Amino acid sequence: MSIIENLNWRYATKKMNGTKVPQEKVDIILEAAHLAPSSSGLQPFEILVISNRELLEKIKVVANGQTQITDCSHLLVFAAWDTYTEERINEVFKRNNTERGLPDSATDGYRNMLNSLYPKRSAEENYNHAAKQAYISLGIAMTAAAELKVDATPMEGFDYKAMDELLNLKAKGLRTAVILPLGYRDEANDWLVKLKKVRTPKEKFITEIK
């Protein structure tokens, strides 16, 4: 199927059936998310993959009782850096240079430029920037899931502070950005599954400037 057919197939699944997604498909979705682009290549976020049923029950409570949390196979939590620091930025550049067989000095100009800007901004501004990078990865993960015929529902309807505390993210210098249950649709009980996909008309959505 083409990417457009896959994206027409997917929808924000409201009811999942509890069937386990094969690990090889989960791995492909995670690798797609891992390969996503990010600003300056910093990848300022991590992905937590949760399948522990007891923990999912607790997450469901802070996610307003949304049943996808406990009916899914795996829950992906995209957790963004709580801020940018010179240490974090330097670590990324050092790793990149090592992997590419370059001396540390090869990227000093760009690294120093980032270090002169990012760490000076507020933690909230930096978190918001990092969270945007996580959303790029989220979109690619959802596209990969659609290709594999795995349902994926992006969610923001949860208590962010409670989620961070539940997952002990502060200790890791992270904050939850968005969560993504992976699973399979319950066609008999999902009210949305048979409804037509509707989007803003293209003439209102796309403006060409030539």
- Kindly report, residue by residue over 69-124, the tens digit of the pLDDT: 999 999 999 999 999 999 999 999 999 999 999 999 999 999 999 999 999 999 99
Sign, Cα dihedral of 44, 135, 20, 64: positive
- In this prediction, residue 76 carries a pLDDT of 98
The rounded distance, in Å, linking the Cα atoms of 130 and 145 is: 23
Per-residue pLDDT reduced to its tens digit, 126-162: 999 999 999 999 999 999 999 999 999 999 999 999 9
Instruction: Compute the average pLDDT of residues 179-188.
Output: 97
What is the average pLDDT value for the chain, to the nearest integer?
97
Overall pTM surpassing 0.85 (yes/no): yes
Calpha distance 104→106 (Å, rounded): 5
pLDDT confidence tier of residue 1, bands split at 50, 70 and 90? low
Burial string for 36-56 (b: 16+ CB within 10 Å, else e) reads: bebebebbbbebbebeeeeeb
- Which pLDDT tens digit goes with each residue over 18-38? 999 999 999 999 999 999 999
- Percent of the chain at pLDDT exceeding 90: 100
